Amino acid sequence: MNGKRGNGEGSIYPYKNGFAAYVWVDTPEGKRKRKYVYGKTREEVHDKWIKLHGEAKKGPVATRHRTLAAFLAYWLDSIVKPNLAPLTYISYEGSVRLYIAPHLGGKRLDKLTVRDIREWLNKLAGICQCCAQEKDAKRPPARQRCCAVGECCEAYPSRRVVQAARDALRAALTHAVSEEEISKNVASLVTVPKPRRRRIKPWSVVEASQFLADAAARDDHLFAAWMLVLCLGLRRGEVLGLTWQSVDFEAGEIYVDHQIQRASREILHRETKTEDSDDFLPLPDVCRTALVMRRAQQHADRKAAGDLWQDRHGLIFTTKYGTPIEPGNLTRMFALRARRAGIRVIPLRNTRHTCSSLLVALKVHPKVAQRILRHSQIAMTMEVYAAASEDQVRAAVRKLSEAMRDG
């Protein structure tokens, strides 16, 4: 073909070793600009020109595209940090810094493809992170023991880490689509194997009762926390975030709306993740008794600490100086108490599965249990109640009641 323009093509013209064309478009910033396309042949440019016309009719079109690294930096600082939870920002920032930017950061945002994402994920799964992050190299020479001395430790990222990196990129590209910088989210088109969650058998009523009885007999300062975790199914952060204002002893209710979280170098007392997490829960008598015992313990701690007492939020569970308890420490103390009581150790989060059975064994009224377990129908609660009437269970709960009474 010669270099003359065809009828109706108007803005296609010879350019360097090929052809170029432009279309007037509205940009996301509300301005009117030319958007150019290039190619080696007129047919190639004509196809791109037609496609660009279609995009211009649908809405705003970006005329300049950032690299993925530049967009991710903007997304973290301007979108994630001011609007999402601190732990979410920390998670996304870590994924971007360690796994996304080093491999994909130099690519143009609009040129990122499904193949790029798939190849990156496959490659990431086989990269030793000790080598990539120079973990061993950052140690003093005398303490270097693997990658820095030529013996790779093969610290490959787990499936969960790879999935988290893909999820962070997908979230960022979703925002890029909403800001009309790109037309589709290529990260959402790539699947990754889901990490397998190891199933752990939760405690039985007998085990839970034995744990609580041991804690009550020892006058454990966290006995009320263990009681709330096991009887109400509260999460670690939720139980640590409870304040005395959350408890209505007369109405027999407790309001869960705050949590304690570790975010980088800070311990935060902040609202629960969503409004759906906030709830008034009925307080069984055993939990109310445990909280009364805890209040007496805290008064003694406050008196002993004197001017060193630092509680700013009125927290129920604190250190001996009134400061918030580190969430990780609660997990470690739970495991320590379980060993001390002679019971197999399970993760603290798995105690939620024991909640319903324990309510039955403690003879909590079915309507109260229904609200705690959040069953829509009382029939569901009664099915749970029908399953617990063993002599061994009753003996274990009797032992717990006696321990609380003695304490």
Please, where are the H alpha helices in 306-388? 327-340, 355-361, 366-373, 378-385
What per-residue confidence (pLDDT) applies to 91? 92
Between CA 71 and CA 172 the distance in angstroms is 8
What per-residue confidence (pLDDT) applies to 172? 95
**Lowest model confidence (mean pLDDT) among 61-70, 247-256, 267-276, 389-398:** 389-398
In the chain, the number of structural domains is 3
Query: Could you report the per-residue pLDDT of 37-89, keeping only the tens digit for each?
Result: 888 898 888 888 888 888 888 887 776 678 999 999 999 999 999 998 888 99
What per-residue confidence (pLDDT) applies to 185? 94
For residue 9, pLDDT over 50 is answered with no
Q: Are strands 18-26 and 12-15 parallel, antiparallel or unpaired?
A: antiparallel
Which residue in the block uniquely carries the two structure tokens 């103390």?
Answer: 333
Q: What residues make up the domain containing 387?
A: 205-406
Q: Computed over its alpha carbons, how large is the radius of gyration of the chain?
A: 30
What per-residue confidence (pLDDT) applies to 8? 39
Same domain, 244 and 382: yes
Structural domain includes residue 276? yes
Q: Please give the single-letter amino acid code of residue 274.
A: T
What per-residue confidence (pLDDT) applies to 267? 81
For 323, phi then psi, to 5°, come to -85, 155
Same domain, 42 and 114: no
Q: Using an 8 Å Cβ cutoff, are 73 and 143 in contact?
A: no
Burial class of 237 by CB neighbour count within 10 A (0 to 12, 13 to 18, 19+):
buried
CA torsion through residues 304, 309, 313, 319, sign: negative
Give 394's pLDDT tier (boundaries 50, 70, 90). low
Give 402's pLDDT tier (boundaries 50, 70, 90). low
Between CA 347 and CA 226 the distance in angstroms is 13
Q: Are strands 258-263 and 247-248 parallel, antiparallel or unpaired?
A: unpaired
Give 161's pLDDT tier (boundaries 50, 70, 90). very high
Q: Residues 125-134: contacts with CB within 8 Å, 24+ apart?
A: 125/156, 125/157, 125/162, 126/156, 127/156, 127/157, 128/152, 128/153, 128/154, 128/155, 128/156, 129/98, 129/155, 129/156, 129/157, 130/155, 131/155, 132/98, 132/102, 133/98
Average pLDDT, the chain: 84
Same domain, 279 and 175: no
**What is the rounded average pLDDT of the residues 202-217?**
87
Same domain, 53 and 74: no
Beta strands in 278-324 (DSSP E): 279-282
Residues contacting 178, CB < 8 A, separation 6+: none
Give 208's pLDDT tier (boundaries 50, 70, 90). confident
What per-residue confidence (pLDDT) applies to 376? 66
What per-residue confidence (pLDDT) applies to 7? 43
What per-residue confidence (pLDDT) applies to 343? 92
**Lowest model confidence (mean pLDDT) among 65-69, 70-74, 290-294, 331-335:** 65-69
Structural domain includes residue 197? no
What per-residue confidence (pLDDT) applies to 283? 86
Same domain, 49 and 84: no
Q: Which helix (H) or strand (E) holds 15?
A: strand 12-15
**What is the rounded average pLDDT of the residues 118-131?**
93
What per-residue confidence (pLDDT) applies to 73? 93
Q: Please give the single-letter amino acid code of residue 248.
A: D
**What is the rounded average pLDDT of the residues 90-107?**
94
Structural domain includes residue 306? yes
Structural domain includes residue 288? yes
What per-residue confidence (pLDDT) applies to 382? 67
Residue ending a domain, among 22, 40, 58, is 58
Q: Report CA 266 to chain centroid distance, whole Å.
A: 17
Structural domain includes residue 121? yes
Same domain, 312 and 400: yes
Which residue in the block uniquely carries the two structure tokens 């008598």?
Answer: 285
Percentage, residues of the chain above pLDDT 90? 38
CATH code of the domain containing 144: 1.10.150.130
Q: For the residues of 37-64, what is the DSSP string, one character each? A: EEESSHHHHHHHHHHHHHHHHHS---SS
DSSP 8-class letter at 10:
-
Same domain, 34 and 150: no
What per-residue confidence (pLDDT) applies to 6? 45
- Two tokens, residue 62: 């970006």
For residue 2, pLDDT over 60 is answered with no
If one counts every other C-beta atom within 10 angstroms of the C-beta of residue 246, the result is 19
Strand order in the sheet with 12-15: 12-15, 18-26, 32-39
Same domain, 122 and 221: no
**What is the rounded average pLDDT of the residues 337-351?**
90
Structural domain includes residue 366? yes
Structural domain includes residue 223? yes
For residue 23, pLDDT over 50 is answered with yes
For residue 275, pLDDT over 60 is answered with no
Between CA 285 and CA 292 the distance in angstroms is 11
Residue ending a domain, among 136, 154, 189, is 189
For residue 251, pLDDT over 70 is answered with yes
Same domain, 249 and 130: no
What per-residue confidence (pLDDT) applies to 274? 54
Same domain, 300 and 347: yes
Between CA 176 and CA 159 the distance in angstroms is 26
In residues, how long is the chain? 407
What per-residue confidence (pLDDT) applies to 76? 95
* CA-to-CA dists, residue 165 to 33, 120, 122, angstroms: 36, 10, 12
Percentage, residues of the chain above pLDDT 70? 86
**What is the rounded average pLDDT of the residues 166-177?**
94
What per-residue confidence (pLDDT) applies to 121? 94
What per-residue confidence (pLDDT) applies to 22? 87
More confident residue, 294 or 204: 294
More confident residue, 281 or 341: 341
What per-residue confidence (pLDDT) applies to 265? 76
Burial class of 46 by CB neighbour count within 10 A (0 to 12, 13 to 18, 19+):
middle
Same domain, 370 and 269: yes
Q: Which helix (H) or strand (E) holds 18?
A: strand 18-26
Between CA 262 and CA 267 the distance in angstroms is 5
What per-residue confidence (pLDDT) applies to 102? 94
More confident residue, 16 or 82: 82
Q: Using an 8 Å Cβ cutoff, are 279 and 292 in contact?
A: no
Give 273's pLDDT tier (boundaries 50, 70, 90). low
Same domain, 37 and 137: no
Structural domain includes residue 63? no
What per-residue confidence (pLDDT) applies to 201? 81
CATH code of the domain containing 385: 1.10.443.10
What per-residue confidence (pLDDT) applies to 171? 96
Between CA 334 and CA 235 the distance in angstroms is 13
For residue 261, pLDDT over 90 is answered with no
